[in-house]
Chains A and B, each alone.
Chain A
Amino acid sequence: MPVPLPMRLGPDTIRKFERAAEGRIDEAIVLRDAGKHLAALYLVGYSVEMALGGAYFRLLRYGPTDPITRQERQRVVAFGRLHHLMRPEPHDIPGWARLLVHYRDSLGPTYPTTAFAILVVNKAEEVYNYWRPEMRYRNTEVTSREVNAALAVAQWFQRQYRIL
């Protein structure tokens, strides 16, 4: 008998975040090329969130396949909100970027330049200008320019992932 899908998902891990972040970009490109701009953009936002989340748990010294529990994720978000790095809204992409910068500033290793730290947050803010989780409940028209701008940011995070 096949294993039910919820059981096949298994726990979150950094490796799953990394692969899913790449996969969502590939899927977003297919959707964009098919003219499904809102769906494409929706996936792009999650790709960036997973890249930032994966990089953050890597800083917390989780190994690639170490399970990341829901409580641990919630604790990280609580930490971000307590430090006013994250907004109260769920899936705060710039908040994840600010968490990364905060961790590196306080516990190291710091980014090679301050400019890079600022760029990480600015890029996250940029994608958040185009994206909200509520998009899944909407049929709002999204332009190809908006999809391409967000996609470019997601691809930037993929290229920089190793040094985030």
Chain B
Amino acid sequence: MPVIRSDQHQIEPTLDELRARLAQELQGHTTADPPVVHEVHVQPSNTLHVIVVWDRWADVPQPDRGRVIMDAYRALDRATPGDAPRADRITMAMGATWEETEQLGLLPFRITPNYRRGEVDDGQVREAMLRAGAVELTNGRIILAFAFPQAADHTFHSLQEQLPQAHWSLNTVMARVA
């Protein structure tokens, strides 16, 4: 009879590292290969839905991802005692790789540049998109995607002001989730 054993503790050092990295990012300290945090204030209920897009989640089971996110927000609350606490307001904490967000249609609002060669410097556009939270895929493609229309709209207007010559457009990708 095959017996498959696994050691739960093997993943702990990774979780500790991810927890520390995410806490640093939330506190405004940029790290290498950073996650993109989509945080929305759900107005009527005064709660927060948080989606952390990060390819580092790939080997982390889902329940652990949620716990890492909650721990990072608790660390943020401890580090910023003067601010309104956030962790207690989170009712949905989701960690997903980029591929998972694509499969589930989690980030349907997309901002894309539509410039002709020579109208604007490619590097400037790339930098602006990455600063706004874009994901750079291994094939070099850059995707600026949002879970929430308000955030997409805000970023769209901000990019239009910064680099109008890139002719930005804001589109909605049809979600694959029924």
Contact = CB atoms under 8 A, between A and B. Distances in A.
Given A60-B47, A84-B62, A78 B177 contact: yes
Interface residues of A, number: 23
Interface residues of B, number: 25
Interface string A67-80: 10001101111110
Contacts of A59: 91
A72 B42 CA distance: 10
A60 B45 contact: yes
A90 interface: yes
- B44, B46, B94, B108 — which one has the most chain A CB atoms within 10 A of its CB? B44
B66 to A, nearest CB: 6
B4 interface: no
Interface string B4-17: 00000000000000
Contacts of B49: 75
Contacts of B42: 60, 62, 72
A81 B177 contact: yes
A71 B106 CA distance: 9
Nearest to A77: B177
Contacts of B44: 62-63, 66-67
Interface string B41-75: 01011110100000000000011001100000000
A79 B94 contact: yes
Contacts of B106: 75, 78
A61 interface: yes
A76 B106 CA distance: 10
Given A82-B96, A106-B63, A62 B45 contact: yes
Contacts of A67: 44
A71 B66 CA distance: 21
Nearest to A57: B45
A163 interface: no
A78 B100 CA distance: 10
B147 interface: yes
B175 A61 contact: no
B149 interface: yes
Contacts of B147: 75
A71 B104 contact: no
Interface of A: 59-63, 66-67, 71-72, 74-79, 81-84, 90-91, 106-107
